[in-house]
Amino acid sequence: MRRQIQFLRRGAIVRLEDAPPTLTLLDYLRLDERAMGTKEGCAEGDCGACTVVLRRLAGERLAYTPVNACIVLAGQADGSEVITVDDLAGGQDGLHPVQQAMVDLHGSQCGFCTPGFVMALFALFHAPGRGALTRDTVNDWIAGNLCRCTGYRPIVDAAIAACGVAARDRFTDQEGDIARALAALDDGADLFSGTAERFFAAPASIEALGALYIQHPDAVLVAGATDVGLWVTKQMRDLRKIIWLGRVKGLDAIAATADGVTFGATATHAAAAPHLSAIDPDLGELLRRFASKQVRNMGTIGGNIANGSPIGDTPPALIALGATLILQRGGATRELPLEDFFVAYGRQQREAGEFVRAVRVPRLGSGEAFRCYKISKRFDQDISAVMGAFRLRLEGSRIAAARIAFGGMAATPKRARAAESALAGADLADPATAAAACEGLALDFAPMTDQRASAFYRMRVAKALLRKALIEIGGAATTTTRVVGRRETAHAATS
């Protein structure tokens, strides 16, 4: 059992013992270390001003992962090297190439966002196999960084100038030493820092997690902290017991077979994206628009399900696909259809001491078609107002079976049973089919009005999405139904 959180910083090991369990990485950097280059803007993962890079072992190589330090807990850096904007320029090299490009191409005015952009681009500089950089790729990469005064054109120019060439800097030169230092930090021991009443724990195995959570069923499980982080920074909640799942060996495993893909609970959205894209390109497009690169790097499939949000993006899509949830308590596991997990607003089928172990997602069978659409006020980095997912099984033009699920239309992610019944056995080519299914939707849902959308808008848009799915599955090219995310030019699996 290890009692200290440990990570690498500027060539030395930082050891934190008895730090507050909810100490954020940003507060550690700015308040404890006084490394003031990293900025705080929104403190909720939205603006990217606090972007830092975690350098971690990923098999044989080192991964440079941009994250939002404002909502990452310091303990989540355990086993990583933390690189901040303060570390980039140095020695005889002067500015780092991405910093120099930002200067040369006028990528900064007031400068408040600049450290975050520089760190996002530093990670892009080190991204493996990124190939030729297009403006679209860069736009996806910096969707989580907000600039209010310079405008994005010169920043994208700087990204292409600095990151369009093979990466070589003093960080690449250090990689051998850093890989050895990180391997030495990876001790495989359970981490428990604090007391029985107030702790940050990070079990190293599923067995240790099961035992610890039964012992402390009142602890808060943290996977990526892209939801829990906001409980700390926005709700000022005093979370006394934290069990971080990020060191549990095997809990992030992704197993793909001919029939489906099983995602371990801590598989991140970034890691899951290529597998979901392979099931259907619309899932890849959904993930591209899920938050930002920084959030997808930390946020997990298990967290998106376990938080029980009615507007989470993956649950409706996974319910429409017929996914099964695997829950574990101690050593015992049970399975249930994902849709049955969501009982009511804020209430899920999860016992004390039970955690999400994995979700099993079937592939589409022959004659099956899938579509999903996210409707939000902003294209990037925004929560859905409505999210609709549709799976149909066709025999010729007859709809043999339908599974439809929506987010944003009820207190939980929910199936549209009446609309499904209206479609089952109907002829896809018959114009009356869509009308009947839309009437079904009006029976299925009584959506609410909130700051994202009115009840009237939600119902109108849900019906429009249903019609769009039927038109597309009926054979219309998505060049006639979509402005972006067309299936004919499916976006490459993004992470």
Binding-site ranges for ligand FAD (CB under 6 A): 44-46, 220-228, 245, 265, 290-291, 295, 298-300, 302-304, 306-307, 312-313, 355-356, 381, 383
Is residue 70 at the binding interface for ligand FES, with CB under 6 A as the rule?
Answer: yes
Handedness of CA 471, 477, 481, 486 (dihedral sign): positive
Which one, 112 or 379, has the nearer CB to ligand FES? 112
Closest listed residue to residue 83, CA positions, set 61, 52, 118, 45: 52
Residue 160's CB: how many other CB atoms inside 10 A?
Answer: 18
Q: How far apart are CA 351 and CA 437, in angstroms?
A: 36
Stretch that binds ligand FES, among 47-55, 91-99, 118-126, 159-167 (CB under 6 A): 47-55
Residues contacting 344, CB < 8 A, separation 6+: 411, 412
Nearest CB to ligand FAD, comparing residues 312 and 447: 312
Q: Of 6 and 292, which has the nearer Cβ to ligand FAD?
A: 292
CB of 109 to ligand FES, least distance (A): 4
Q: Report, in Å, the least distance between residue 146 CB and ligand FES.
A: 7
Nearer to ligand FES, 43 or 201 (CB): 43
Using alpha carbons, select from 230, 180, 188 the residue that is nearest to residue 205: 188
43 binds ligand FES (CB under 6 A): yes
Instruction: Please tell me whether residue 409 binds ligand FES under the rule CB under 6 A.
Output: no
109 touching ligand FES, by CB under 6 A? yes
Smallest distance from the beta carbon of 24 to ligand FAD, in angstroms?
13
Nearer to ligand FES, 111 or 176 (CB): 111
Residue 114-143 contact track with ligand FES, rule CB under 6 A, x = bound: x-----------------------------
Please select the residue that binds ligand FES; options are 11, 94, 111, 250, rule is CB under 6 A. Answer: 111
Burial 78-93 (b: 16+ CB within 10 A, else e): bbbbbbbbbbbeeeee
Residue 112 interacts with which of ligand FES, ligand FAD, none, CB < 5 to 8 Å by class: ligand FES
Structure tokens at 102: 């930002």
Contact partners, residue 32, CB within 8 Å, separation at least 6: none
**Residue from 16, 147, 212, 409 binding ligand FES (CB under 6 A):** 147
Closest separation in Å from C-beta 235 to ligand FES: 16
Residue 228 found at the interface with ligand FES (CB under 6 A): no
Residue with tokens 């910083």: 9
Which residues, including other chains, have CB under 8 Å from residue 495's CB and lie 6 or more apart? 269, 270, 271, 273, 274, 293, 296, 297
Q: Is 232 helix (H, G, I), strand (E, B) or coil?
A: helix
Residue placing its CB nearer to ligand FAD in the complex, 61 or 377:
377
Instruction: Report if residue 46 touches ligand FES, rule: CB under 6 A.
Output: yes
Query: For residue 356, what are its two tokens?
Result: 């999400």
Residue choice 18, 33, 40, 104 for contact with ligand FES (CB under 6 A):
40
Site membership for ligand FES, residue 49 (CB under 6 A): yes
Query: Contacting ligand FES (CB under 6 A), which of 6, 99, 150, 384?
Result: 150
Phi, psi values for residue 17, rounded to 5°: -120, 135
Measure the CA–CA gap between 313 and 227, rounded to whole angstroms. 13
Beta carbon of residue 348, minimum distance to ligand FAD (angstroms, whole number): 9
The entry of ligand FES, ligand FAD, none near residue 148 (CB within 5 to 8 angstroms by kind) is ligand FES
Residues 6+ apart with CB under 8 A from 246: 76, 78, 202, 222, 223, 224, 266
Helices vs. strands in the chain: H and E counts, helices first:
18, 20
Residues contributing to the site for ligand FES (CB under 6 A)? 40-43, 45-50, 68, 70, 108-114, 147-150
